[in-house]
């Protein structure tokens, strides 16, 4: 089982940007955390971050046939990107949207999520633990669904 973790703009600034909201841990810390969480669930983890919308869309598209599920934190693109939504819908892989902060308790504009429309679950406000929850949820989901999906394709 392989889970791709795709992170959007400014997550490379973790530990520096607004530590009172995002904490003092870095993107490298998050990657180590996610790899350990994946290993604990029996999942290989591919980890990616970009500040560029098109690169995020490309990564989502490249997950098709290579990943069993996606954990995505589109960051600011959550609230603006129909392109990311369309990519998630196109690949139709099980996806979970994750946010470190509780976006529902922040500015009004952060309460709109286009990307969540292409995801099966949204986890917000749990910090790094939200990623662990998403990886675990996808692992359990895909263990149940992947054999069914493969059987459908073989008919």
pLDDT in tens, 27-65: 999 999 999 999 999 999 999 999 999 999 999 999 999
Catalytic choice (22, 52, 114, 131): 22
d(CA 80, CA 121): 19
Range of the structural domain that residue 111 is part of: 2-154
Q: How confident is the model at residue 136 (pLDDT cuts 50, 70, 90)?
A: very high
Based on the residue annotation, tell me whether 77 is a catalytic residue of this protein.
no
Check 77, 99, 114, 131 and give the catalytic one: 99
The CATH number of residue 51's host domain is: 3.40.50.9100
What one-character-per-residue DSSP string does 101-149 give?
Answer: S-GGGS-GGGG--SGGGG-SEEEES-THHHHHHHHHHHHHHHHHHHHHH
Q: How many domains does the chain have?
A: 1
Q: Is 99 a catalytic residue?
A: yes
Number of H helices, E strands in the chain: 5, 5
Percent of the chain with pLDDT over 90: 76
Give CA torsion, residues 47, 134, 124, 6, to 10 deg.
Answer: 20
């Amino acid at each position: 089982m392989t889970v791709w973790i795709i992170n959007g703009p400014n997550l490379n600034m973790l530990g520096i940007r607004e530590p009172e909201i995002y904490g003092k841990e870095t993107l490298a810390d998050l990657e180590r955390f996610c790899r350990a969480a994946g290993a604990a669930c029996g999942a290989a983890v591919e980890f990616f971050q970009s500040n560029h919308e098109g690169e995020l869309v490309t990564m989502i598209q490249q997950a098709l046939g290579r990943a069993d599920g996606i954990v995505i934190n589109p960051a600011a693109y959550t609230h603006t990107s129909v392109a990311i939504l369309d990519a998630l819908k196109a690949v139709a892989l099980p996806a979970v949207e994750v946010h470190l902060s509780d976006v529902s308790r922040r500015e009004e504009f952060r309460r709109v999520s286009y990307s969540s429309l292409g995801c099966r679950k949204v986890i917000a406000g749990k910090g790094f633990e939200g990623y662990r929850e998403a990886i675990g949820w996808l692992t359990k989901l895909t263990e149940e669904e992947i054999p069914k999906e493969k059987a459908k394709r073989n008919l």
